Structure 1
Amino acid sequence: MSLQTRIRAIFGNDSLDWLDRSYLADWIVVATLWLLSELAMHITVFERDFYATDPVINHAHKKSQIGGELNHFIALLVPAVVLAAVGLYRLAFVRIHHGILALLAGQGLTRLFTGVLKNKVGRLRPDFLARCKWNDVKMKCTGKAADVLDGRRSFPSGHSSAAFAGMTFLSFWLAGQTAAWCFDVPVPAASLRSSRLGRFILTLLPFWWAIFVAVTRVEDYRHHKEDVIAGGFIGFVCAAICYLAFWPSPFVAKNFDSRIYGQPRLLYTDEDHRRLTSAFELTRLEEDDMDV
């Protein structure tokens, strides 16, 4: 049984009517972003000068409260699981496809920007001297080479950018499903799920996690405050752009029409052409009636 047959068996015979070969190009772009981001991680790190007495980089080297693998796992898997679960519940394969595609695009773009800046800027971490173990006789760092090299990759914060990329996407997606950020959209009464404040708080929960991750990076002396601010900004912007490329804006009331509520954009269809053609045909009919 082919993949398309399996999908149609689960989601319905019309579940792939929106599919277009142009989406293959989108997936290629996303794969390219991830490949380039991996290459960016191996760019030669800029080794800026420093003073062995600089108090800004003379903090203790501590264990991270949130490891890098755990952070990336949460930032990528949690949004993916949420949107996949809703897509399966509603039997809408297009929601799953567009959600995963937009999520991976945002994370890939974030990772690319972060990797390039980390290596080209070469800002020293707050715990750099503890990693360096400067030797006055040898006039060089005597710490582990890998630790010293990583100590030169402070700006921007990779933890913060990844966390904000994943959680920004999830917040935008939740807002798009609940109209939490568009107060002009009416909601049904006599239902606990209709609470305006409840919906709004729900969409903010992912941001709280991203903020928590960013704060721990400062507490652990792994980043300066400017690093986490820049990292968070990069993740937010990349995720927001990629979300809006595939999903309607959660701030616009017309996007919550009963026919399209919570639906992604169908990017490669002839809907606009059909609508224009229909309007032209109606105009011609009206003109013919007037002549008669």
Structure 2
Amino acid sequence: MIMGLGIPVTMILLTELVRVADQNGSDKRNRMDWLMALKGISFFLFGVMVTEAFTEVIKHSIGRLRPNFFDVCKPEFNNINCSTRYITEYTCMNTEFSEREIRESRLSFPSGHASFGMFCAVYTALYLQARFLFGSSVLTKPTLQAGLVLVAVWCGMTRITDHKHFSADVVTGFTLGTIVAWLVFYKVAWLSLRTVRFTLFPRSFSVSSNSEPQTPDPLLRESTNQFNVYLDDPMKVDRSKSLV
């Protein structure tokens, strides 16, 4: 948990530090960049709470025996009634594990490590995509992003090899973490973290006189409040008659 929180927070702070060093802006601009870091960390912590809340609700609502449940619990099979479809009453004989560990062995779906790790990786990768500036190499940003996702995937795979989760638990955790990260970043944090702010300006149009058909000189008048009306050929009509 400490490593999972420390890596994203460190990456966010380093991202804003690189922006400050690269731009050489004013003190006001530098303060804005550090303010973005605080906002990014705040939204990140909010997303962590949302991810953990969804994970725990699903765990305690659905539940599932972990692959190592029988080794942790060691139920007394002689007193178990196997005639029923589901066995809900059993006694754990193993005294090497605490009551909390035995209870956790019944909460396999989904993987909390997978959902938490993938949320941290995807959120940090999206933050780097929006805020990270490093002009000397175009591969720096994607390399960091790929490394973050790789660490999250490795964390989920170890839960399978350690017999703590089934593959479906890990895949569901990955999916949950990715969805929450995308929603938190683009639906909650994006308006505050985006680098370029767009302002809606009233649209105005100008017409060049060179692009419009020119009125023949004989039809022009110096007075702006007179409008000549010609019913027939203008050359044959008395031009002294005008509509005021």
Same-fold status (TM-score > 0.5): yes
Cross-structure match for 2:160:
218
- Greater shift in the superposed pair: 95-104 or 149-158: 95-104
The answer to whether the Cα contact below 8 Å between 2:111 and 2:165 also exists between their aligned partners in 1 is: yes
Q: Which has the higher helix share?
A: 1
CA-atom RMSD in angstroms: 3.1
Cross-structure match for 2:63:
122
Letter in 2 for 1:246: A
The answer to whether the Cα contact below 8 Å between 2:16 and 2:131 also exists between their aligned partners in 1 is: no
**Residue from 69, 73, 78 that aligns with 2:7:** 78
Cross-structure match for 2:173:
231
- Greater shift in the superposed pair: 205-214 or 97-106: 97-106
Tell me, yes or no, if structure 1 residue 113 matches structure 2 residue 54: yes
The answer to whether the Cα contact below 8 Å between 1:107 and 1:235 also exists between their aligned partners in 2 is: no
Please show how residues 165-184 of structure 1 align to structure 2 within 5 Å: 165-178=119-132
The share of aligned pairs that are identical, in percent, is: 25
The answer to whether the Cα contact below 8 Å between 1:218 and 1:225 also exists between their aligned partners in 2 is: yes
The answer to whether the Cα contact below 8 Å between 1:103 and 1:169 also exists between their aligned partners in 2 is: yes
- Greater shift in the superposed pair: 118-127 or 93-102: 93-102
Structure 1 residue runs of 4+, over 4 Å off? Answer: none
Tell me the distance in 1 between the aligned counterparts of 2:44 and 2:153: 19
Q: Which runs of 5+ in 1 are unaligned?
A: 1-71, 180-186, 249-262
Tell me the distance in 2 between the aligned counterparts of 1:264 and 1:176: 8
Q: Compare CA radii of gyration and give the structure with the larger one.
A: 2
Q: Report the TM-score when normalising by structure 1.
A: 0.55
The answer to whether the Cα contact below 8 Å between 2:131 and 2:194 also exists between their aligned partners in 1 is: no
**Residue from 193, 206, 218 that aligns with 1:264:** 193
**Residue from 72, 86, 99 that aligns with 1:145:** 99
Please show how residues 13-32 of structure 1 align to structure 2 within 5 Å: none
The answer to whether the Cα contact below 8 Å between 1:94 and 1:264 also exists between their aligned partners in 2 is: no
**Residue from 28, 36, 39 that aligns with 1:98:** 39
Secondary structure of 1:247's partner?
helix
Q: Report the TM-score when normalising by structure 2.
A: 0.65
Q: Which runs of 5+ in 2 are unaligned?
A: 21-29, 81-90, 208-223, 225-244
Tell me the distance in 2 between the aligned counterparts of 1:203 and 1:157: 22
CA deviation string 1:45-75 (max 9, x = no partner): xxxxxxxxxxxxxxxxxxxxxxxxxxx2122
